[in-house]
Amino acid sequence: QVQLVQSGAEVKKPGASVKVSCKASGYTFTTYGVSWVRQAPGQGLEWLGWISAYNGNTNYAQKVQGRVTMTTDTSTSTAYMELRSLRSDDTAMYYCARAEVATTDLDYWGQGTLVTVSS
Amino acid sequence: NFMLTQPHSVSESPGKTITISCTRSSGNIARNYVQWYQQRPGSSPTTLIYEDKKRPSGVPDRFSGSIDSSSNSASLTISGLKTEDEADYYCQSYDSNNHMIFGGGTKLTVL
């Protein structure tokens, strides 16, 4: 069965970076992409970007463009999302989700990784 | 870019039918597919409807999606409401840069 398992919770100071991992199993990793979505406490969903696991092409949301880097490691079927220059408003649950291409639905989701930014 | 506007909250009794709207602020709602996600408290979202009206396997036919060009909106209809349907519901579409856009979410209370 398809599973996306994310890395554990992180606490970071303002200005630091965080790198969240998302290990996929149960399907051929390179035939799908991965989107990253975050949810601030008590708030709605916010899309951060998408990466193709086939060729590494990326498409980032304007709000985080320049601070975010999404990568994949096909040898371990793992996707990564790194966010730099963290601010307090980056505190959120970060989800990875499978998406065949950038414009298809997110059919499987990871369990979420809570990133807390606090001094 | 456009926005997707949903009611903040809705409520209805068990067994009834409810419809949650998702209005696109500019551009034709039919131009890009709309998806609907359900998020129960403390859980990750799951897909209820994709490509405007399709249901993934395992999603009951009590859930249906539609679009209406006259109101430029998409709708999620849930019939035969159950207490387990209490959750947040999000609509989602794409802009011309293939950037995903979510509605603000609707909290459904079944009382």
pLDDT computed for residue A99 by the predictor: 93
- What is the block-wise mean pLDDT of chain A (119 residues), using blocks of 10 residues? 98 98 97 97 97 95 97 98 98 96 89 98
pLDDT computed for residue A40 by the predictor: 98
Please name the member of B50, B98, B104 whose beta carbon is closest to the beta carbon of A105: B50
pLDDT computed for residue A103 by the predictor: 79
Q: Which residues of A touch B47 (CB under 8 A)?
A: 105-107
Nearest CA in chain A to B52: A105
> Cβ contact (<8 Å) for A47 and B100?
yes
Give the Å distances, CA to CA, from A65 to A37, A57, A61, A62.
14, 14, 6, 5
| pLDDT tens for each residue of B9-44 | 999 999 999 999 999 999 999 999 999 999 999 999
Give the integer Cα–Cα distance in Å for B100 and A62.
11
**Interface-testing mutation among A38, A106, A111, with chain B (most B C-beta atoms within 10 A):** A106
Contacts 24+ apart (CB under 8 A), B6-10: B6/B89, B6/B90, B6/B91, B6/B103, B6/B104, B6/B105, B6/B106, B7/B106, B8/B104, B8/B106, B8/B107, B9/B106, B9/B107, B9/B108, B9/B109, B10/B106, B10/B107, B10/B108, B10/B109
**Interface-testing mutation among A45, A47, A60, with chain B (most B C-beta atoms within 10 A):** A45
Confidence of residue B51 (pLDDT cuts 50, 70, 90): very high
Distance from CA of B102 to the nearest CA of A (A): 6
Residue in this structure with the two tokens 């011309």, named with its chain if needed: B96
> Cβ contact (<8 Å) for A104 and B104?
no
SS3 content of chain B, % helix, strand, coil (to 5): 5, 45, 50
> Cβ contact (<8 Å) for B45 and A107?
no
SS3 content of chain A, % helix, strand, coil (to 5): 5, 50, 45
| pLDDT tens for each residue of B77-99 | 999 999 999 999 999 999 999 99
> Cβ contact (<8 Å) for A103 and B102?
no
